[in-house]
Amino acid sequence: MHKNDLEKEKILYAKNINKEFPGVKALSNFNFDLYKEEIHCLIGENGAGKSTFIKILSGAFKPNGGDIFIDGNKYNFLTPHLARSIGIQTVYQEDILVPHISAAENIFLGFGNNDQKFFISYRKIIENAKKLANQLGINTNVEELYEKLSPADQQFTKILKALAHKPKVLILDEPTQAFNVKDTGLIIEIAKKISSEGVSVIYIAHDLDEVIKVADRITVLRDGKKIKTHDKKTETLNPENLAKEMVGRPVSLFYKKKECAIGNYVFEVKGLKLNQFSKEINFKVREGEILGIAGLKGSGRTEIVRAIFGALNKYEGIIIYKGKDITPDSPIKAVKAGIALLTENKKVDGLFMSMPVDHNITIVDLDKIGKFFISLRKERRLADDYIKRLDIKTPSPNQEVRFLSGGNQQKVVLAKWLFAGVNLLIVDEPTHGIDVNAKVEVYRLFTELTAAGKSIIMISSEMPEIISISDRVIVIRNFEISRVLSKSEIIEENILSGFMGGGG
């Protein structure tokens, strides 16, 4: 009986939550509670289970086991509609608002206006939006088109939209991603104000300083398990300790790379500036080396490699290969110079989904299969070699790529660039969304390439990957290099401190 009373004090209590995806245990026996008027932060690495948990709370996922108590009522699972109707609102990272209507209209989009059955009073919407913003001390111009607002104002609009539903629980999923210090400060203030007005907030962020500032309590997640919940009232917190709790992973997750001989510096990025105001980026890559690029999403890591490849306009800077200036102004030049870019989202800009496997492999270097006319027989034969070498599982080279699995699709992209004979392979999240076996095969290929004297630049969000594969790591933060780590310095703490701008 007494225990029940205690639970009633909590506005939300999740008990023994389990969630499994094929091959992965995203959450195991996870417990989480949320008191009235508190800000409870969730921290953990990518894949630790934070997103899975909030998706369960917002009704997007159905847990495999466990109970959720909200206001003392027990639920086995929630649906998006149910979650909203019992007062849970989620502000996701992704933009789901309509760009070409005003912020105010976005805030009240989907509301039934009771006194007006069919027509909408624009004036009233603006009025209500202003009232809502004033309550929080936000001075966003709510009459402005959403797409014209600054990132911070867009975030405020999303928060206002959630608050317009008068929630009991507000979930903020990385609300300050890619924000500057000032805007982050504003969001922290607003979150505190929201909680002081009686709404409980679940707050997810990567920046540990920010987390310590905003939180009443902090729960650390790792590999789907709760490590610890800290209470700011009873203990003093520091980022180093929290980072250590987030880390610590069984060794088995790390790929044991065969070490290759590393040669001289062959490739150099000199004075690269993406725009007038960004700091210069300088780095070199050696023959047979894998240079890891670590950085959070939105840190500028993808833009930097796209600029190197000539796919994105840069402000200034030159690219040198073996002493020659090869600065590409378009991918055409980069490909000629032997640079390859494997993009993060291969379906969007890496593969020709409706074309067969062999055509995908040969497209970069058609010269190999004919002068003007293509020899289909030769193409088939050469493509077959690569299909065998990379162990691409396809019923025939004739199969359209979209019918292959994600791992095999990734191998097709790799085969395409191997076929073209690259000197420098730039890969952006090479194993994103592919299974463990395919991952190992991709790593094996990387090792083969470096053994043959090729260089690789690898962007990755996955800590085990970056740590076990890279020979050297540069950490990117806010479009500049925040840390350079030599082989012996590549440990998770150093990378995390680079994310957060810590020196040292």
Partner 1 sequence: MKVSEKKEINQGINNGNSIGKKLGVFKNQTSYLVLVIIIVSVIASILNPNFLTVRNFFNVTQQISVLGILTMCMALLMISGGLDISIGNMAGLVGIVFVKMVLSGYSIVMSVAVVLTISTFMGFVNGFIISKSKVTPLIITLGMMYVFYGIALIVSGGRPLALGGNFEFLGRAKIGPVPFTIIIYLLIFAFAYLLRKYTKYGRRLNAIGGNVQAAFLSGINVDLHIISIYTLSGLIAGLAGLVLASRLGMVRADSGTGYELQALAACIIGGITFEGGRGSLVGAFFGVLLLGIMYNAMNIIGVSSYMQTIFLGAVIVIATVISNIGKMRRE
**Which region among 20-28, 211-219, 292-300, 335-343 touches partner 1 (by CB under 8 A)?**
335-343
Q: How far is the CB of 445 from partner 1 (least distance, A)?
A: 19
Q: Check residue 332 for interaction with partner 1 (CB under 8 A).
A: yes
- Interface with partner 1 (CB under 8 A), residue from 96, 355, 440, 451: 355
- Of 5 and 367, the one with the shorter C-beta distance to partner 1 is 367
Of the pair 156, 321, the CB lying nearest partner 1 is at 321
Binding mask 356-395 for partner 1 (x = CB under 8 A): ---x--xxx-xx--x-xxx-x-------------------
Q: What's the full length of the chain, in residues?
A: 504
Chain centroid to CA 100: 26
Phi, psi (deg, nearest 5) at residue 127: -60, -50
Relative to beta strand 39-43, strand 281-286 is unpaired
**Strand, helix or coil for residue 97:** coil
Which of 351, 390, 459, 469 is close enough to bind partner 1 by CB under 8 A? Answer: 351
User: Per rule CB under 8 A, is residue 467 in the interface with partner 1?
Assistant: no
| Residue placing its CB nearer to partner 1 in the complex, 109 or 363 | 363
Cβ proximity to partner 1: between 103 and 326 the closer is: 326
Which residue, 239 or 331, is less far from partner 1 as judged by CB? 331
63 alpha-carbon distance from chain centroid: 23
Q: Is 307 in the site for partner 1 (CB under 8 A)?
A: no
Residue placing its CB nearer to partner 1 in the complex, 405 or 468: 405
Measured CA to CA, the distance from residue 238 to residue 128 in angstroms comes to 41
Does position 312 bind partner 1 by CB under 8 A? no
Instruction: Please choose, from the candidates 81, 73, 66, 83, the residue with its C-alpha nearest in 3D space to the C-alpha of residue 14.
Output: 66
Subset of residues 414 to 433 that bind partner 1, contact rule: CB under 8 A? 416
Spatial CA neighbour of 166 closest among 122, 118, 132: 132
Q: How far is the CB of 392 from partner 1 (least distance, A)?
A: 18
331 binds partner 1 (CB under 8 A): yes
Q: Which is nearer to partner 1, 293 or 426 (CB)?
A: 426
CA distance 184 to 175: 8
Single out the residue of 199, 294, 308, 334 in contact with partner 1 (rule: CB under 8 A): 334
**Shortest gap between Cβ of 373 and partner 1 (angstroms)?**
5
Task: Select from 42-50, 194-202, 344-352, 438-446 the region that touches partner 1 (CB under 8 A).
Answer: 344-352
Question: Least CB distance from residue 160 to partner 1, whole Å?
Answer: 35
224: helix, strand or coil: coil
CA distance 269 to 289: 15
Selected binder of partner 1 within 97, 247, 320, 353 (CB under 8 A): 353
What minimum distance in Å lies between the beta carbon of 326 and partner 1? 13
Q: What is the DSSP string of 473-489?
A: EEEEETTEEEEEE-GGG
Identity of the residue, 279 or 336, whose beta carbon is nearer to partner 1 in the bound complex: 336
The helix (run of H) or strand (run of E) holding residue 459 is strand 455-459
Closer by beta carbon to partner 1, 53 or else 267 = 267
323 CB burial (10 A radius; 0-12, 13-18, 19+):
exposed
Q: How far are the Cα atoms of 186, 205, 208, 496 from residue 212, in angstroms, in the given order?
A: 15, 10, 6, 15
Site membership for partner 1, residue 309 (CB under 8 A): yes
Nearer to partner 1, 331 or 453 (CB): 331
Q: What is the dihedral of CA 234, 235, 239, 245, to 10 degrees?
A: -90
Answer whether 392's CB lies under 8 Å from 418's CB.
no
8 A C-beta contact, residue 262 and residue 470: no
User: Alpha helices of 101-150 — where are they, by DSSP H?
Assistant: 103-107, 122-136
Count CB-CB contacts under 10 A for residue 354: 9
The type of residue at 127 is E
Residue count at the site for partner 1 (CB under 8 A)?
31
Token code pair at residue 187? 């969001």
Assess 277 for contact with partner 1 (CB under 8 A). Answer: no
The residue among 109, 14, 24 whose CA lies nearest residue 55 is 14
Q: How far apart are the first and last CA of the chain?
A: 53
Of 280, 349, 391, 489, which lies in the binding site for partner 1, with binding defined by CB under 8 A?
349
Among 195, 200, 343, 497, binds partner 1 (CB under 8 A): 343
Report the nearest approach of partner 1 to the CB of residue 210 (Å).
Answer: 35
Please, what sign has the CA dihedral across residues 304, 308, 310, 313?
positive
From the list 173-181, 228-236, 289-297, 327-335, the region that binds partner 1 by CB under 8 A is 327-335
Closest CB to partner 1 among 96 and 312?
312
Minimum distance between the CB of residue 305 and partner 1, rounded to whole angstroms?
Answer: 11
Query: Under the criterion CB under 8 A, does residue 407 sit at the interface with partner 1?
Result: no
**Helix 181-196 vs helix 151-163: angle between axes, to the nearest 10 degrees?**
10
Least separation in angstroms between residue 375's CB and partner 1 is 9
What is the contact surface with partner 1 in residues (CB under 8 A)?
Answer: 309, 311, 331-332, 334-336, 341, 343, 348-355, 359, 362-364, 366-367, 370, 372-374, 376, 398, 402, 416
